Amino acid sequence: MSTDAQIAVDDYLVATLVDEDDALVSAREAAAETTMPGAAVAPNQGKLLAMLAAAIGAHRVLELGTLAGYSTIWLARAVGPGGRVVTLEVSEQNASVARRNLDHAGVGDVVDIMLGPAAESAQRLIDTGQEPFDLVFIDADKPSNATYLRAALELTRPGSLIVLDNVVRSGRIADAASAEEPDVRGVHEALALAASDPRLDGTALQTVGSKGWDGFALFRRVA
């Protein structure tokens, strides 16, 4: 759980540096209508994703886990009208909320929502020989992190970035007593895969703020 001080710091940083318009605010608040209320990225992380996409000149982005479409809006705006965001969502309820928010933000024509289990949707993208994605944001069910990372490797190219969210799990990744919990095991498997695969170079950071104690890993395809 976040402390009052951590929330206050995030509020200050967002108010100072992050320009959330009405569409983003509406999408963030609409998370209450999804199957996982409160699970969307924080505004400052949404802007970080957009800045990463803009920094590498991303035109094609893959997102695993749509929810209300909050991070999707940030990514769609980063790739611009000529770009494409493909986002994978298992719940029709969430996809419906996201479509409304994406249209409100004016990016509905930039985003394709693929409905179904993310691993199956990602495999369809692989099987159909999709053009490589420049950035992949993995924020779906945590036990399947390694499966998603393997798929991301098949769907990217050298120079692409992969962001894996929620890797600290309130510190449980370093707690031996939590090692067999499905979400923790999913993080361990994904990080071990990244560390052993010569195609990837990366790091991970822990964060505190309005979303509590967590963190993310950032990988770059180097081969």
Backbone region of residue 169 per phi and psi (left: phi > 0; alpha: psi in -120 to 50; beta: other values): left
Reported as a single tens digit per residue, the pLDDT across 93-152 is 999 999 999 999 999 999 999 999 999 999 999 999 999 999 999 999 999 999 999 999
Nearest to 77 by CA among 105, 104, 103, 99: 105
pLDDT value of residue 2: 82
Reported as a single tens digit per residue, the pLDDT across 160-193 is 999 999 999 999 999 999 999 999 999 999 999 9
Query: Per the structure block, which two tokens stand in for 214?
Result: 């967590």
Residue 1 has pLDDT above 70, yes or no: no
Residue 205 has pLDDT above 90, yes or no: yes
pTM attached to this predicted model: 0.97
109 near 35, Cβ under 8 Å?
no
Residues 6+ apart with CB under 8 A from 194: 149, 164, 200, 202, 217, 219
Can you list the alpha helix ranges (DSSP code H) found in the chain? 4-17, 22-29, 43-55, 70-79, 92-104, 118-127, 145-154, 182-196
107 near 73, Cβ under 8 Å?
yes
With a pLDDT cut of 70, the percent of the chain lying above it is 100
pLDDT value of residue 192: 98
Residue 73 has pLDDT above 70, yes or no: yes
Q: At 143, which amino acid appears?
A: P
How would residue 87 be classed by pLDDT, with cut points 50, 70 and 90?
very high
Kindly list the structural domains of the chain, giving each domain's residue range(s) and its CATH number in brackets, ordered by start.
Answer: 4-221 (3.40.50.150)
To which residue do tokens 């991303």 refer? 58
78 near 49, Cβ under 8 Å?
yes
Mean pLDDT of 39-44: 95
Distance CA 1, CA 170 (A): 8
